[in-house]
Amino acid sequence: MKRYEDLSPSLRCIMTPGPVEVDPRVLRAMSFPVLGQFDPEFTDIMNETMEMLRELFKTDNKWAFPVDGTSRSGIEAVMVSLIAPGDRVLIPVFGRFGHLLHEIAERCGAEVYTIEKEWGSVFAPEEVISALRSFKPDVVAIVHGETSTGRMQPLAEIGRACREQDALLIVDAVATIGGVPVETDEWMLDAVIGGTQKCLSIPSGMAPVTYNERAEAKLLKRKQVERGLRTGDFEAGELPPVRSNYFDLSMLQDYWSPQRLNHHTEMTSMLYALREGLRLVLEEGLTARHERHALHGQALVTGLTAMGLTLYGDPDCKLTVVACVLIPDGIDGESVRTMLLEHFGIEIASSFGPLKGKIWRIGTMGFSCRKNNVLRVLGALEATLLRHGCDLSPGLGVQAALDVYEPKGR
């Protein structure tokens, strides 16, 4: 009979745009005893998590809770719940995950209209607003931080225009929540999806979402109660029901409400992780956390350029927490990534679609966003590139990053 060794994953320095290293305090929280999902002690934890999510999303929304599943489950839950068959949906695309929103909207049975921007840039708000006024959509879905290209889309003016046009605005903030400002109420965002495995430094497996009364009003028109839970007073909504049971926000909000109407068995240990991760975010303070991400992101970029590498994309819309680097001519990008992993224990990412094999993506997110990690990846990348025959001036990258951290003459 085959015997299996004890599970012992290697310790890595994970500098990708997600997943990232998990704070040890979050890992500790995941080891706590399991409680029943309707145990009052556990429902108190659910309520505390909702309170902290409202602070994280900068919102007064009643509804802020996690969908059990990876970040994509949150995206799918919001879209399948708020996009009814036949709805007109506008999707501005400037990277891989805009295309994902397009695909999900089509699967919802929507009439989808897209506008596209060359990868490496974002839309001027007036471009989206012009399409909004022309197409007159019921829903607009857009990515805030596009990790495939390392760009960030301004949203405030778009949110205001959507409100004026009475279109619901869905925002994918998976890569930005907890790392850069996401102002749900101020920017008039109707529904926002976050991710755990990026700037929150929690394992993948939950997708925090929030949505306002405008979004809830549409949900209630699609309201369903599972057949086995219905009582005599149930009345179906006036719009077609949500086509997914698991991702039906109208049923999930009943589960997260004081009613605690059973829907699924809550992911107890993951909720512990989310609560602890959110506690750590709020303990640090959102402003301080955003400043930390900006500092380490700047140190990384300064080091990369001093090393002689070229950054990809429009610098005016760079996503603070991701640096995209053009792979030098004649260098095998995957060979470099392999050497970084095998010899230095460092993981950086490649990219997708038209950028496959052309750029590396290096994240400075959450618990991975630390000075020692930035200096380590710069030194290791320099050594690896030299071994691959790249023409570099040794030492400049790390020194330039140190100047960001400790300016000369200070």
Q: How far is CA 408 from the centre of its chain?
A: 36
pLDDT digits (tens, 9 = 90+) for 201-221: 999 999 999 999 999 999 999
What is the domain-level CATH number for residue 395?
3.90.1150.10
* Distance from C-alpha of 101 to C-alpha of 97, rounded to nearest angstrom: 6
pTM of the full structure? 0.96
* Distance from C-alpha of 298 to C-alpha of 404, rounded to nearest angstrom: 8
- Same structural domain for residues 246 and 355? no
- Distances, alpha carbon 163 to alpha carbons 92, 140, 220, in Å: 17, 11, 19
Name the stretches of the chain with pLDDT < 50.
none
- Same structural domain for residues 79 and 93? yes
> What does the pLDDT read at residue 245?
94
- Same structural domain for residues 267 and 299? no
What is the largest distance, in Å, between two alpha-carbon atoms of the chain? 76
Task: Tell me which residue range forms the domain holding 159.
Answer: 23-281
Count of positions (residues) in the chain: 410
For tokens 């998990």, the residue is: 22
pLDDT digits (tens, 9 = 90+) for 75-130: 999 999 999 999 999 999 999 999 999 999 999 999 999 999 999 999 999 999 99
In a domain, residue 119? The reply is: yes
> What does the pLDDT read at residue 42?
96
Number of domains in the chain: 2
In a domain, residue 273? The reply is: yes
At which of 249, 281, 313 does a domain end? 281
At which of 262, 281, 300 does a domain end? 281
- Same structural domain for residues 258 and 242? yes
What is the domain-level CATH number for residue 218?
3.40.640.10
> What does the pLDDT read at residue 178?
98
* Distance from C-alpha of 90 to C-alpha of 84, rounded to nearest angstrom: 14
> What does the pLDDT read at residue 409?
53
* Distance from C-alpha of 169 to C-alpha of 142, rounded to nearest angstrom: 8
- Distances, alpha carbon 43 to alpha carbons 46, 209, 253, 278, 280, in Å: 5, 18, 14, 17, 20
